[in-house]
Amino acid sequence: MRIKICGITQPQQGKAIASLGATALGFICVPASPRYVTVDQIRAVVEQLPEKTDKIGVFANSTALEITQTVVNSGLTGVQLHGDESPEFAAQLRQLLPNVEILKALRIRSFEDIDKAAMYTTTADTLLLDAYHPQQLGGTGTTLDWVMLQEFSPSCPWFLAGGLTPDNIVEALTQVSPSGIDLSSGVERAPGDKDLDKVAKLFEKLAIRR
């Protein structure tokens, strides 16, 4: 299972989280977010990471040119579209960045939102299902209704996100079978400041579950 820790801002924390076992780190490229990082900040973290660690930039309603420039200048290996991007936009990005993983995040309120996921399975490599919040795009600490996702089985890999913590991860994974999990606020002291003890606890819980 892929384990993505999102909202990384500090090089030493990023390096430590990768060494604990995270397979992917996420960087918030949305200026309005308290976890926002610049291209230089992303590169400072990426330079500390093993090559095998996925480095994923999170964007919301950015232009294809902005995304492409950020990827090229920072060393990202993946792009997560967390806004209102269409399947056509994802396809356009795929043309511009043929060797970069394209993830599409969907904020889930109802079964209708889950049905929308199918629209992206041919243009995005990976889906990410997050909790809906009217003001915030992510990192809200709000959990999804996991029961609603028990039958979710798209034709591409997918991450479960939304309010996951070391304390509820085992319960979540007994109800849902994602390809990966994505945590942000659930392993933080403050936005962008990760709590390495919580990250270590997460991996302990996942190891016990195996």
| Percent of the chain whose pLDDT exceeds 90 | 82
Strand spans (E) along the chain: 2-6, 24-28, 54-59, 78-81, 101-108, 126-131, 158-160, 180-183, 188-190, 193-194
Structure tokens at 140: 């809200």
Burial of 40 from C-beta contacts in 10 A (0-12 / 13-18 / 19+)? exposed
The pLDDT of residue 210 is: 65
Residue with the larger pLDDT of the pair 132 and 13: 13
The reported pTM is: 0.94
Q: Is the pLDDT of residue 54 over 90?
A: yes
The pLDDT of residue 141 is: 62
Sequence-separated (6 or more) residues with CB below 8 Å from residue 95: none
Query: CA angle 64-91-78, nearest 5°?
Result: 65
In which band, very low, low, confident or very high, does the pLDDT at 116 lie, cut at 50, 70 and 90?
confident
The string of pLDDT tens digits covering residues 123-181 is 999 999 998 554 545 555 678 889 889 889 999 999 999 999 999 999 999 999 999 99
CATH of 2-209 among 3.30.365.10, 1.10.3720.10, 3.20.20.70, 3.40.50.720:
3.20.20.70
The string of pLDDT tens digits covering residues 70-94 is 999 999 999 999 999 999 999 999 9
